[in-house]
Amino acid sequence: MSYNFLDLKAANEPYLDDMVEAAARVIRSGRYVGGRECELFEQELAAMTGAAHCVGVSNGLDALRLIFKAYIELGILKPGDEVIVPANTYIASVLAVSDAGLKPVLVEPSERTLNLDTSLVEAAVTQRTRAVMVVHLYGRVCFDRILLDVASRHNLLIIEDVAQAIGALSFTPGVNGGDRAGALGHAAAFSFYPTKNIGAAGDAGAVTTSDDRLAVAVRALANYGSDRRYHNIYQGYNCRLDPIQAAMLRVKLPHVADENADRFARALAYFRTISHPNVIKPLMSEDVVDNVWHQYVIRVTGGYRDRMKAELAARGVATDIHYAMPPHLQPCYATLFDGVRLPVSERLASEVLSLPIARGTTVKDAADISRIINSITLQS
Ligand SMILES: *Cc1c(COP(=O)(O)O)cnc(C)c1O
């Protein structure tokens, strides 16, 4: 037997005919930038999240970048302002902040959730802190009363990176009372990169917000800074959502809940079956909805992660690592984060191992892979 980590063709198989039909619809329409598919997609994603507005954009990184740039154009953020960002995240979260001329201030994760430890946020707040970014890493919502409280006392914007968590619910209502990822903070960025829970057939992203002015500014910035035809109020970009991708995504959006439920079932099989002295499983209970299991990430302790990965590969189980090097240690940030030490994030990077969880992996596969893990002896 062999187990793929991720088979994108298998992931798209149930949608194939509808995706081909949707692409053909756009090609036949004669409208290749913007248009009806983009508008409908935006309405549908806004309705799904509960945010007042959605702006479709080119990808997840651009979604985050545009949010920060728009706040700067609106005079709400200024270059040099500090933004608190989780240290344990994909680098795109940090890139969006530094690219906008803002200063990313990295805060360590909780060892329980692997998400930003909200109890450490207050200590990182300075006179210049204006925003905090939460990343719902691996699909688990990062949002609680502690965060809301510190954000409201220090007047901080809350920006969500929802790239990995479409459809996830929060137990704590957001700043505007919403309860779904994308409607918890002041603005949120989605990615529809093909490997995400809902993936396009290429790059795509979206911004959601209930702030009318922010939505208008993001839309203008993504379209050369133009507020109406041949009239430019900002020095903008071309970061628009491709209508073919909008049409692809409209095929899949109605299935967010089913896709996430299937991921939950595979996660539950791992949770119930894995039992190994060197493996720490992600937190899980049988009824919790605040995690949409973008990745099922175990920690292998004792310095045995690479050995476990190799032993699994030898038994036909493909795994991946998200992420082997935290952003502050990346060469591109050698100057900005010179001397910064983040021991929890650094240790996690040496322990994490992602198991197959996407469509294409069955519940039985997850149980079989768990038994293979249990059978591996690491101590020599
Ligand atoms: C994928 C991802 C992004 C970037 O999205 P792209 O569409 O690939 O640009 C940002 N943040 C996180 C947490 C991601 O997983």
Per-residue pLDDT of the chain (380 residues; tens, 9 = 90+): 899 999 999 999 999 999 999 999 999 999 999 999 999 999 999 999 999 999 999 999 999 999 999 999 999 999 999 999 999 999 999 999 999 999 999 999 999 999 999 999 999 999 999 999 999 999 999 999 999 999 999 999 999 999 999 999 999 999 999 999 999 999 999 999 999 999 999 999 999 999 999 999 999 999 999 999 999 999 999 999 999 999 999 999 999 999 999 999 999 999 999 999 999 999 998 777 899 999 999 999 999 999 999 999 999 999 999 999 999 999 999 999 999 999 999 999 999 999 999 999 999 999 999 999 999 999 86
Pocket residue to mutate for ligand 1, from 67, 97, 191, most atoms within 8 A of Cβ: 191
Phi and psi at 106, nearest 5°, equal -85, 135
User: 86: Cβ below 6 Å to ligand 1?
Assistant: no
- The closest residue, in CA terms, to atom 2 on ligand 1 is 163
From residue 95, how far is each of 100, 183, 250, 277 by CA, in Å? 8, 22, 29, 37
**Helix, strand, coil content of the chain in percent (nearest 5):** 40, 15, 40
What residues contact residue 279 under an 8 Å CB cut-off, 6+ apart? 298, 299, 300, 301, 308, 373
| Cross-strand partners of 160 | 134, 188
User: 59: Cβ below 6 Å to ligand 1?
Assistant: yes
User: 94: Cβ below 6 Å to ligand 1?
Assistant: no
Half-sphere exposure of 186 (CA within 13 A, CB side): 21
User: 197: Cβ below 6 Å to ligand 1?
Assistant: no
User: 60: Cβ below 6 Å to ligand 1?
Assistant: yes
Q: What's the predicted TM-score (pTM) here?
A: 0.98
90 CA to centre of ligand 1 in angstroms: 7
At 86 the pLDDT is: 98
Q: How far apart are CA 262 and CA 268, in angstroms?
A: 10
164 CA to centre of ligand 1 in angstroms: 8
User: 93: Cβ below 6 Å to ligand 1?
Assistant: yes
- The closest residue, in CA terms, to atom 7 on ligand 1 is 60
Pocket residue to mutate for ligand 1, from 58, 59, 61, 197, most atoms within 8 A of Cβ: 61
Q: Are 34 and 219 in contact (CB under 8 A)?
A: no
Runs of H (alpha helix) within the chain:
8-12, 16-29, 36-49, 60-73, 91-99, 121-124, 145-153, 212-221, 243-252, 256-273, 305-314, 343-351, 363-375
At 61 the pLDDT is: 98
Pocket residue to mutate for ligand 1, from 134, 193, 292, most atoms within 8 A of Cβ: 193
At 289 the pLDDT is: 83
Which ligand 1 atom is the nearest neighbour of the CA of 59?
A: 7
